[in-house]
């Protein structure tokens, strides 16, 4: 199932700047019973990206389109790609652009339930994230680093891969954000230089704040990750997976991880 | 005029990974009287990119396609986009992928002849190039840095923009490579960390070597650029433009720049 600019369609023009340059953004939205989860957070991030790229952003039209698509999809993943639209030759964005939206639907991924209960093992990716503050935090269409990182392993024993920046700091996982717990404090890497500011990461930070948990967004070294009491990864599709192993280090599933899993598990009913 | 997988077509599937992730490469080829210039260099760079990304590369099929497209285009710019082909959800490249080619034609850009004779003024871009050795040198589809940089100026007094990396080194111009001349030595920035290894840059390096000019590929600071005797930019469409101004610094068109212009001006007849 796919829509282009709000109409059922399977193709897009070869002159789209999303195709030529990755000149656009995307959101991967979990849809349950026709309801897109965390929609305000998705639209908010998309709006920030459009602002940074000077792409016109009509939040009401987008919301209507996603709602209509979700109603037809019922349950699954709705992926929204928003590009600057068509362009001629050259990097320079046209002064008057007409953004294009592409919505595609897919079934919810069938992850083994053990990933949530027992936890996952992380693959230590060799591909590093370049430090580019101009793009940091955004879910833009320039994703070759993630493609290269995800291609590093095929062994299904690894559910996710840990990504560091070119200076060695811990940033995120390939398709997830990462948190650690250190003597009762919840920490997650700063995304000022690279990384995607995931909507589930935002949701967790807000819920932790509301629950009065001490938390900190800061630079994190690999040593600090390995010394943490608890580690988990998160995204908007699966919620939270405890991390049980990275290289030789093994963690039990910790109490704060369990508590946060409970807080975000009821997303469908409470938001 | 556009072809998809060798056939006239204006559209491509929404599931193409070039569109989803920028998972592919491109070449911008000057075609004169049905002849694609510097074709071996273009195919060579494309092959290196495919090797780095583990995308199957059929050089003979590509060459035939470009030759056939060029014969129809006659004179103009042939842009070739090569992607990993269709994908399902997720960054992981499919184990068996079927690459897609998209060829689009456009007229040759109508640059003012003064750009070649009198030279050009460079805009000092604020957008920096992130240091990512895994992608450096390739002409891949993740081009948001160039889009942001080219959007920084609208004044036609600036023909090109100077780009530095996040550490401040000189790397290239937005759609060109850059050379300087320092007491008779030709220098161009190393592209180990970022930047595109342009085919005209390679051509110039080879011709300079053959002509016995001393040359060096190395890291270059802004100070060194400003102190240079001659500066020029180059790409496969316009050849060589002398740089006559960057901020307050003004250069005359130097003798080595003129000599190299003569060496590459006869590309159409000699290669």
Indicate if the pLDDT at residue B261 is higher than 90. yes
CB of B167 within 8 A of CB of B222?
Answer: no
CB contact under 8 A, B102 and A130: no
Beta strands in B135-269 (DSSP E): 158-164, 170-173, 177-182, 185-189, 215-218, 230-235, 239-246, 249-250
Distance to chain A for B38, nearest Cα, Å: 20
User: Which residues, 6+ apart, have CB-to-CB distance to B84 below 8 Å?
Assistant: B17, B18, B23, B24, B53, B55, B93, B94, B97, B99, B100
Phi-psi region of B146 (alpha: psi -120 to 50; beta: other; left: phi over 0): alpha
Q: Any catalytic annotation for residue B79?
A: no
Indicate if the pLDDT at residue A173 is higher than 60. yes
Structure tokens at A103: 């919505």
A·B CB contacts under 8 A: 167
Check residue B210 and report its DSSP letter. H
Q: What is the CATH number of domain A2-106?
A: 3.30.470.10
Q: What is the mean pLDDT of chain A?
A: 96
CB contact under 8 A, B14 and A26: no
Interval B73-93 mean pLDDT: 95
Measured on CA atoms in the order B194, B120, B201, B179, is the torsion positive or negative?
negative
CA dihedral A175, A19, A131, A158 (to 10 degrees): 20
For B11, phi then psi, to 5°, come to: -130, 165
Task: Please tell me the predicted confidence (pLDDT) of residue A271.
Answer: 44
Residue from B5, B92, B133, B156 whose CB has the most chain A CBs within 10 Å, to mutate: B92
CA dihedral A203, A209, A213, A219 (to 10 degrees): 70
Q: What is the CATH number of domain B114-270?
A: 3.20.10.10
Indicate if the pLDDT at residue B263 is higher than 80. yes
Q: How confident is the model at residue A89 (pLDDT cuts 50, 70, 90)?
A: confident
Beta strands in B9-157 (DSSP E): 11-13, 24-32, 35-36, 76-83, 100-106, 120-124
Indicate if the pLDDT at residue B199 is higher than 90. yes
3-state helix, strand, coil in chain B (%, to 5): 30, 35, 40
**Other CB atoms closer than 10 Å to residue A19's CB: what's the count?**
29
Indicate if the pLDDT at residue B267 is higher than 80. no
What's the pTM value of the predicted model, to 2 decimals? Answer: 0.97
CB of A225 within 8 A of CB of A188?
Answer: no
The DSSP bridge partners found for residue B13 are A11
User: Which residues, 6+ apart, have CB-to-CB distance to A105 below 8 Å?
Assistant: A1, A2, A31, A69, A72, A73, A76, A77, A78, A79
- ∠ Cα B90 B91 B97 (to 5°): 95
Choice among B37, B160, B172, B230 that is catalytic: B172
Structure tokens at B163: 């780009």
Task: Please tell me the predicted confidence (pLDDT) of residue B12.
Answer: 96
Structure tokens at A174: 């390939």
As a whole-number percent, the residues of chain A with pLDDT over 70 amount to 99
Interval A90-112 mean pLDDT: 95
d(CA A125, CA A171): 12
Q: How confident is the model at residue A270 (pLDDT cuts 50, 70, 90)?
A: very low
Q: What is the β-pairing status of strands A100-106 and A120-124?
A: unpaired
pLDDT in tens, A3-41: 999 999 999 999 999 999 999 999 999 999 999 999 999
User: Which residues, 6+ apart, have CB-to-CB distance to B69 below 8 Å?
Assistant: B3, B78, B103, B105
Q: Which residues of chain B are within 8 Å of residue A54 when distances are taken between CB atoms?
A: 151
Delimiting residues of CATH 3.30.470.10 domain(s) in chain B: 2-106
CB of A23 within 8 A of CB of B143?
Answer: yes
Delimiting residues of CATH 3.20.10.10 domain(s) in chain B: 114-270
CB contact under 8 A, B9 and A12: no
CB contact under 8 A, A145 and B151: no
Distance to chain B for A149, nearest Cα, Å: 8
Q: What is the mean pLDDT of chain B?
A: 96
Task: Please tell me the predicted confidence (pLDDT) of residue B268.
Answer: 55
CA contacts within 13 A on the Cβ side of B180: 25
d(CA B231, CA B179): 6
Q: Cα dist. A9→A1, A87, B12, B13, B14 in Å?
A: 8, 20, 11, 9, 9
CB of B138 within 8 A of CB of B52?
Answer: yes
* CATH superfamily label, A114-266: D-amino Acid Aminotransferase, subunit A, domain 2 (3.20.10.10)
The DSSP bridge partners found for residue B189 are B218
Q: Any catalytic annotation for residue A127?
A: no
CB contact under 8 A, B104 and A142: no
Q: What is the ipTM of this complex?
A: 0.96
d(CA B82, CA B141): 9
Task: Please tell me the predicted confidence (pLDDT) of residue B265.
Answer: 85
Whose structure tokens read 């491109």? B26
Q: What is the β-pairing status of strands A185-189 and A215-218?
A: parallel
Distance to chain B for A251, nearest Cα, Å: 27
Indicate if the pLDDT at residue A175 is higher than 70. yes
Structure tokens at A77: 């993943």
Q: Any catalytic annotation for residue A28?
A: yes
Delimiting residues of CATH 3.20.10.10 domain(s) in chain A: 114-266
Q: Which residues of chain A are within 8 Å of residue B53 when distances are taken between CB atoms?
A: 144, 147-148
Task: Please tell me the predicted confidence (pLDDT) of residue A88.
Answer: 78
pLDDT in tens, B30-45: 999 999 999 999 999 9
Q: How distant is the alpha carbon of residue B216 from its chain centre? A: 20
């Amino acid at each position: 199932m796919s829509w282009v600019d709000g109409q059922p369609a399977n193709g897009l023009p070869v002159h789209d700047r999303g195709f030529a340059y990755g000149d656009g953004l995307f959101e991967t939205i979990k849809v349950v019973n026709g309801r897109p989860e965390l929609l305000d957070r998705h639209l908010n991030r998309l709006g920030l990206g459009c602002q940074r790229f000077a792409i016109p952003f009509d939040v009401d039209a987008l919301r209507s389109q996603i709602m209509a698509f979700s109603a037809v999809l019922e349950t699954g993943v709705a992926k929204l790609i928003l590009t600057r639209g068509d362009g001629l030759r050259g990097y320079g964005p046209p002064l008057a652009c007409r953004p294009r939206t592409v919505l595609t639907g897919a079934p919810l991924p069938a992850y083994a339930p053990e990933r949530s209960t027992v936890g996952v093992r992380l693959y230590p990716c060799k591909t590093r994230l370049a430090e580019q503050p101009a793009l940091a935090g955004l879910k833009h269409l320039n994703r070759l680093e993630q493609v290269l990182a995800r291609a590093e392993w095929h062994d299904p024993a690894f559910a996710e891969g840990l990504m560091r920046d070119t200076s060695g700091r811990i940033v995120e996982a390939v398709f997830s954000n990462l948190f650690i717990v250190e003597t009762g404090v919840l920490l997650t890497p700063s995304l000022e230089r690279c990384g995607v500011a995931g909507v589930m990461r935002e949701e967790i930070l807000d819920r932790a704040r509301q629950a009065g948990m001490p938390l900190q967004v800061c630079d994190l070294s690999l040593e600090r990750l390995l010394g943490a009491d608890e580690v988990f990864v998160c995204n908007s599709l699966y919620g939270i997976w405890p991390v049980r192993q990275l290289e030789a280090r093994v963690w039990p599933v910790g109490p704060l991880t369990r508590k946060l899993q409970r807080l975000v598990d009821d997303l469908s009913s409470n938001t």
